Chains A and B, each alone.
Chain A
C-alpha cells in the first residue's frame, strides 16, 4: 500500500482533481456520474471525457485520496457500471487543505477590492 504523500506537496489542486474530489464529497459515485456531477457543478466549464476522468481517478487512487468500493455480488456483465469510487479520509483532508488555501486567496482578493460584494 502506498503511503499518502505530504498534503502540502499536492497543492494547489488542478481544476479536474478538485472537482473530482468535490463530486465524491456527498457520496460515492461511479465514473460517469462523477463526470456529470463535475459538469453540472461547474455549469459546463469543466468537461471530462473518459480518458481524463479515469486517468485522474487512477492517480488519485494511487495517492490514496480515493478508493474503489468493492462490489461483491454483481455479475460480470454489469460490473463495470458499478465500479464506484469514494473519498478516503486522506482525501477529505486534502480537500480541506485546498479549501483553506483557496479561502486565503479569496480573502486577499477581497482585501484588494477585487471581489464583488455579495
Chain B
C-alpha cells in the first residue's frame, strides 16, 4: 500500500454538460491533496450518477443530481479540509464554518456602506414590487376558490353568438328537471333589499338562492339550518340566510338569529341560518342577505338575469355536461318559441374559476411581466455594481490570498456576501410589497377576489426566493470577477486581461437594460394613452352638481301601482321644494354603467331572421323631465310627456347612436319595434317618438346606444331619484334625506352619491392598473439611466490615463466629451434596437386592454425610443463632462 497518493489521472476528454462543469468548479473547494488523489474519480462518479438518473427517467433528474451533489459538498468539504482523523461528520462543525463565513461577509459589507446600501436598496425596490404583484396574482389567479373540490364547480351560462343572456326561471326549472351531469345545481338572482329588524333599517345586497346552490357549493351554516328544497317551493313560508356580519348587526349575537323574523322589503322572513364568519360571497356574488328563491312556474321564457352554478358529478366531464345542457336548451325552445325566437341561445358550462377571474387574467399576467422586467433590470444594475466593486477589490483580495486565504475561502466569502445582500434585499422589500398590495387593492375594487390579497407566508417565501436568486447572481458576478482560469488572483495592476472582458460584460448588461426598458415604457405609454382616451369620453350628460339615490319600494307596502305613482309625485314635489334644489327627476338607469337592464328588440320593419338573436340595447325608464335633469339634449321628435301612460300608445326615446345604427341616414322617429320578446299578439309594439343625445350606459368604453321608455308605462318599484343642485358646492344630502324621511320612514336611509364620483369610480380600476405599470416603467428607466451612468463613470475613471494622453496630444475637451457620450449612445442604441424587437410582445400582452389605442402604434414606439435615447445621452453627459475636465498632467503623474 503506497503512502503517497497516485499521480492524478488526466481529465477525461468527453464533452461536458453544464452540470458537470459546475461540479468541476465546485470541487475545487476540496484541499489540494484530496483533489489530486480523487478528482478524476469524483468526476467519473458524477457522470455515472447522472447517467443512472437519466436512464431511470426520474423526473427532474437534473435537479435531483444537483441537490445530491450540493448536499455531498456541504457535508464533505469542511470535513476534508479539517483533515479529521475519523470518519464520522458532526453537523456542528458545518454550522460553525457557515456562520464564520457569514460573519466575515457581514464585516466586509459593513466596511463598504455605500455599495451595500445601494445594492440592498435596488434589490429591495425590485423585489418589493415583484412580491407585491405576486401577492395579487396569488390571490386572484392562483388561490383555489374557497369551496370543497372547487374544480368541479361550474357556472352555467346562456349565450348566443353575440351576447350573454344569463338564465331565466324557465331555464332554471328545465335544467333542474332534466339534468343528470351535476350532483347539485342551483341559481342566484341578485337583488338589493331593505332589511329591517326591530327599528334598525338598512339596505343590503345579496341574492335569492336555491337550496341546490348551497348544496353545490357544499357550504355549511354556522348557526341554524341551511336552506332546503321545500324552502324554494312556491307558497312556502319565506326564509332567508344571513351573513354572520349582518346577523350580528341586527341581533347582537349572530347565533341568536336563527328562528327570528327579519323584514326584507317589508316582507317578513324567518332567518333559517347564519353563514360562517367571513363568508360574504356565494359563487362570486357579494352580499349579506340570501332569501330563498321561490320557484314559481313562469308564464314566458324571460326575464333573464339569474346566475346558474352546478357541481359536476364525479367522473363526469365538462364536455359531457355541455352536451347535455345543449340538448336541454334545444328541447325547451319549442315550448316558448312564440315569445322567444333566439334559437341560437344555448346553455354553456364554464369552470367557475374562469367565469370569476377570466377577465383579469391577461392584465394581471401583463403586470407580472412588467414587474419581472423591473427585476431583470435591477439585477443587471446590481451585477454591474458588483463587477465594478470586484475590480477595485482586487488589491484587498490579493492581500488576503497572500496571507493564506485559499481560492475556496475567497469564493465562499464572495458567495456569503451575495447571499447576505440578496436576503437583506428581500427583507427590506416587504414594506414596499405591502404598499403595492394595499394601494392596488383599495383602488382596483372591481377586480374579483382582490379584497383578500395580502402579504402572507407564500409571499414572504417568494420574496426570499427571489432574494436568494439575486444573491446567486451577485455571487456569480463576483466570483467571475475574481479571476480567470489561471487560478491566480490578479494584483492591483490596471489593465490586466480580465478587465477587457469585464468591460464587455458590463456593456452587454447596459444593452440588456435598455432593451428591456423600452417595451415596458412603451406598454406604460400605451396604457396612459388608453386611460386618457377613456377619461375624455363624452359622457352625454352633465354630472356637475347632480346627486342620485336608489330607492327600492317594498312590494308588500306599495302593492298596487297607484301607490307607487303616488310616491313618485310626492317625492318629486317634496324634493323640489328643498332649498338649493334646481330640479328633480326619476329614472331607473344611471349612467355611466347602470342601465335598468339590457333588453332585446325586433324592429318592426326590419325584423331579424327567424331563429337568430335579436339586437339588445341598454334599456331604462324615465319620468317626464328626467332626461332634462340629466342634461341630455333632445335632437329630434319630442321628449317624454305626462300624457305617456297606460292608456296611450307605448312609446320610447332612442339615442343618436341607436338611430344611426339601426336606421342609418334615415329618421328613426315613427319607427316601431317589438321589445323584450313581445309580439303583435302579446304585448304589442313600441313607437319611437324622439331621438336624444348619446349617453354612456354600458360603461365608458362601450357604445352609446340607449333606449328610454316612460316610467308610467313600465313602472318599477326600484328607481333612482335624481337631484340637480342649483349650487354645486352646497351640501344638499342631509336636507334631501330629511325630506324623504318625512314621506316614508320605513325605507332604509337613502345614500346620496354624486354622479361625478360615479364617473370617477368607473375610471378607478383602469387608473390603478396604469399607475402601477407607469411606476414600474419609471423605475426601470431610472435604473437603466443610473446603470449607464455608472458604467461610463467607471470607464472614464479607468481610462483616465488614456484620456490624459489624448488631451496632452491635442484633443480638445469637446472632442473628449463627444467621445464619451458617443460610447454611451452606442450602447443605448444597440439596446433599443433589441428592445424594438421585444415590443412585439407588448402588442400581444396588451391586446384587448387598450381603449382607442392600437397596440402597435408607431408614434408611441418612436416617441419612447427617442425618450430613452435622450435619457441615455443625458446619463452619458455627466461622466463625459468629468472626462473633459481631466487634468492630463496630474493623471499621468498618478499612474
From residue B194, how far is it (CB to closest CB) to chain A in Å? Answer: 67
Task: Let me know if B88 is at the binding interface, CB within 8 A.
Answer: yes
From residue A53, how far is it (CB to closest CB) to chain B in Å? Answer: 7
What is the CA–CA distance of A1 and B73 in the complex, to the nearest angstrom? Answer: 30
Contact with B along A65-86 (1 / 0, CB 8 A): 0011000000011011101000
- B71:A17 contact, CB within 8 angstroms: no
Q: Are A51 and B76 CB-contacts (below 8 A) given A1-B3, A58-B34, A58-B37?
A: yes
- B87:A31 contact, CB within 8 angstroms: no
- A51:B1 contact, CB within 8 angstroms: no
- B75:A51 contact, CB within 8 angstroms: yes
Task: Let me know if B229 is at the binding interface, CB within 8 A.
Answer: no
Q: Are A52 and B48 CB-contacts (below 8 A) given A14-B87, A14-B88?
A: no
Contact with A along B387-425 (1 / 0, CB 8 A): 000000000000000000000000000000000000000
What is the CA–CA distance of A1 and B2 in the complex, to the nearest angstrom? Answer: 7
What is the CA–CA distance of A83 and B10 in the complex, to the nearest angstrom? Answer: 14
Contact with A along B8-41 (1 / 0, CB 8 A): 0110110000000000000100100010011011
Size bracket, chain B contacts: 35 or more
Contact with A along B76-91 (1 / 0, CB 8 A): 1101100001111100
What is the CA–CA distance of A56 and B86 in the complex, to the nearest angstrom? Answer: 9
Task: Let me know if B46 is at the binding interface, CB within 8 A.
Answer: yes
Which residue of the partner chain B has the closest CB to A61? B1
Q: Are A81 and B88 CB-contacts (below 8 A) given A51-B75, A51-B80, A61-B1?
A: no
Most buried by A among B12, B72, B89: B72
Q: Are A51 and B9 CB-contacts (below 8 A) given A31-B45, A32-B48, A59-B87?
A: no
Task: Let me know if A64 is at the binding interface, CB within 8 A.
Answer: yes
Contact with A along B661-691 (1 / 0, CB 8 A): 0000000000000000000000000000000
From residue A32, how far is it (CB to closest CB) to chain B in Å? Answer: 4
Q: Which residues of A contact B13 (CB under 8 A)?
A: 77
Task: Let me know if A92 is at the binding interface, CB within 8 A.
Answer: no
What is the CA–CA distance of A13 and B87 in the complex, to the nearest angstrom? Answer: 8
Task: Let me know if A37 is at the binding interface, CB within 8 A.
Answer: no
Among B10, B12, B76, point to the contact of A52 (Cβ < 8 A).
Answer: B76
Task: Let me know if B69 is at the binding interface, CB within 8 A.
Answer: yes
Helix, strand, loop or mixed for chain A's interface?
helix
Residues 35-55 of A at the B interface (beta carbon under 8 Å): 35-36, 47-55
Residues 2-54 of A at the B interface (beta carbon under 8 Å): 2, 10, 13-14, 16-17, 31-32, 35-36, 47-54
Q: Which residues of A contact B889 (CB under 8 A)?
A: none
From residue A49, how far is it (CB to closest CB) to chain B in Å? Answer: 2
What is the CA–CA distance of A48 and B12 in the complex, to the nearest angstrom? Answer: 23
Q: Which residues of B contact A10 (CB under 8 A)?
A: 86
Helix, strand, loop or mixed for chain B's interface?
helix
- A35:B1 contact, CB within 8 angstroms: no
Most buried by A among B27, B38, B49, B85: B38
Among B1, B37, B45, B89, point to the contact of A50 (Cβ < 8 A).
Answer: B45
Q: Which residues of A contact B73 (CB under 8 A)?
A: 49, 51
- A59:B1 contact, CB within 8 angstroms: no
Q: Which residues of A contact B42 (CB under 8 A)?
A: 50-51, 54
Q: Which residues of B contact A55 (CB under 8 A)?
A: 34, 76, 79-80, 87
Among A47, A52, A54, point to the contact of B41 (Cβ < 8 A).
Answer: A54
Task: Let me know if B44 is at the binding interface, CB within 8 A.
Answer: yes
Which residue of the partner chain A has the closest CB to B46? A50
Q: Are A59 and B86 CB-contacts (below 8 A) given A1-B1, A49-B72, A51-B27?
A: yes
Task: Let me know if B68 is at the binding interface, CB within 8 A.
Answer: yes
- B1:A68 contact, CB within 8 angstroms: yes
Q: Which residues of B contact A81 (CB under 8 A)?
A: 44
- A51:B12 contact, CB within 8 angstroms: no
From residue B833, how far is it (CB to closest CB) to chain A in Å? Answer: 46
From residue B362, how far is it (CB to closest CB) to chain A in Å? Answer: 45
What is the CA–CA distance of A3 and B41 in the complex, to the nearest angstrom? Answer: 27
What is the CA–CA distance of A67 and B3 in the complex, to the nearest angstrom? Answer: 11
Which residue of the partner chain B has the closest CB to A32? B48
What is the CA–CA distance of A58 and B38 in the complex, to the nearest angstrom? Answer: 9
- A83:B41 contact, CB within 8 angstroms: yes
What is the CA–CA distance of A80 and B14 in the complex, to the nearest angstrom? Answer: 14
- A49:B69 contact, CB within 8 angstroms: yes
Q: Which residues of B contact A14 (CB under 8 A)?
A: 86-89
- B76:A80 contact, CB within 8 angstroms: no
Q: Are A54 and B86 CB-contacts (below 8 A) given A48-B72, A49-B71?
A: no
From residue B33, how far is it (CB to closest CB) to chain A in Å? Answer: 9
What is the CA–CA distance of A14 and B90 in the complex, to the nearest angstrom? Answer: 11
Q: Which residues of B contact A50 (CB under 8 A)?
A: 27, 38, 41-42, 45-46, 69, 72
User: What count of chain A residues pass the 8 Å CB interface test?
Assistant: 34
Among A2, A49, A56, A64, point to the contact of B68 (Cβ < 8 A).
Answer: A49
What is the CA–CA distance of A61 and B85 in the complex, to the nearest angstrom? Answer: 12
Q: Which residues of A contact B77 (CB under 8 A)?
A: 51
Contact with A along B155-176 (1 / 0, CB 8 A): 0000000000000000000000
What is the CA–CA distance of A53 and B30 in the complex, to the nearest angstrom? Answer: 13
What is the CA–CA distance of A8 and B495 in the complex, to the nearest angstrom? Answer: 61
Q: Which residues of A contact B80 (CB under 8 A)?
A: 51, 55
Residues 52-80 of B at the A interface (beta carbon under 8 Å): 52, 68-69, 71-73, 75-77, 79-80
Among B1, B27, B68, B88, point to the contact of A47 (Cβ < 8 A).
Answer: B68
Which residue of the partner chain B has the closest CB to A49? B72
Q: Are A32 and B49 CB-contacts (below 8 A) given A51-B42, A80-B9?
A: yes
From residue A89, how far is it (CB to closest CB) to chain B in Å? Answer: 13
Q: Are A16 and B87 CB-contacts (below 8 A) given A50-B41, A80-B44?
A: yes
- B40:A80 contact, CB within 8 angstroms: yes
Q: Which residues of B contact A53 (CB under 8 A)?
A: 45
From residue A113, how far is it (CB to closest CB) to chain B in Å? Answer: 30
- A49:B76 contact, CB within 8 angstroms: yes
Q: Which residues of B contact A32 (CB under 8 A)?
A: 44-45, 48-49
Which residue of the partner chain B has the closest CB to A35? B45
Q: Which residues of A contact B3 (CB under 8 A)?
A: 1-2
- B71:A76 contact, CB within 8 angstroms: no
What is the CA–CA distance of A79 and B573 in the complex, to the nearest angstrom? Answer: 106
What is the CA–CA distance of A60 and B52 in the complex, to the nearest angstrom? Answer: 27
Q: Which residues of B contact A60 (CB under 8 A)?
A: 87
- A76:B9 contact, CB within 8 angstroms: yes
Q: Which residues of B contact A49 (CB under 8 A)?
A: 45, 68-69, 71-73, 75-76
Q: Are A51 and B41 CB-contacts (below 8 A) given A1-B3, A68-B1?
A: no
Q: Are A31 and B68 CB-contacts (below 8 A) given A58-B37, A76-B9?
A: no
- A52:B72 contact, CB within 8 angstroms: yes
What is the CA–CA distance of A17 and B84 in the complex, to the nearest angstrom? Answer: 14
From residue A14, how far is it (CB to closest CB) to chain B in Å? Answer: 4
What is the CA–CA distance of A58 and B37 in the complex, to the nearest angstrom? Answer: 9
- A51:B88 contact, CB within 8 angstroms: no
What is the CA–CA distance of A14 and B71 in the complex, to the nearest angstrom? Answer: 18
Among B1, B38, B75, point to the contact of A54 (Cβ < 8 A).
Answer: B38
- B10:A76 contact, CB within 8 angstroms: yes
Which residue of the partner chain A has the closest CB to B68? A49
Residues 688-712 of B at the A interface (beta carbon under 8 Å): none
- A51:B44 contact, CB within 8 angstroms: no
From residue B45, how far is it (CB to closest CB) to chain A in Å? Answer: 4
9 closest A-B pairs (Cβ-Cβ)?
A: A49-B72, A51-B76, A50-B42, A14-B88, A50-B45, A54-B38, A80-B40, A32-B48, A17-B87
Task: Jot down 25 A-B pairs with beta carbons below 8 A, ordered by A.
Answer: A2-B3, A10-B86, A14-B86, A16-B88, A32-B48, A32-B49, A35-B45, A47-B68, A48-B72, A49-B68, A49-B71, A49-B72, A50-B41, A51-B30, A51-B76, A52-B75, A55-B76, A58-B34, A58-B38, A59-B86, A61-B1, A68-B1, A77-B10, A80-B41, A83-B41
- B-to-A contact residues, CB < 8 Å: 1, 3, 9-10, 12-13, 27, 30, 34, 37-38, 40-42, 44-46, 48-49, 52, 68-69, 71-73, 75-77, 79-80, 85-89
- Additional A-B contact list (7), CB under 8 Å, known A49-B76, A56-B87, A58-B34: A50-B45, A51-B75, A55-B76, A59-B85, A59-B87, A60-B87, A67-B1
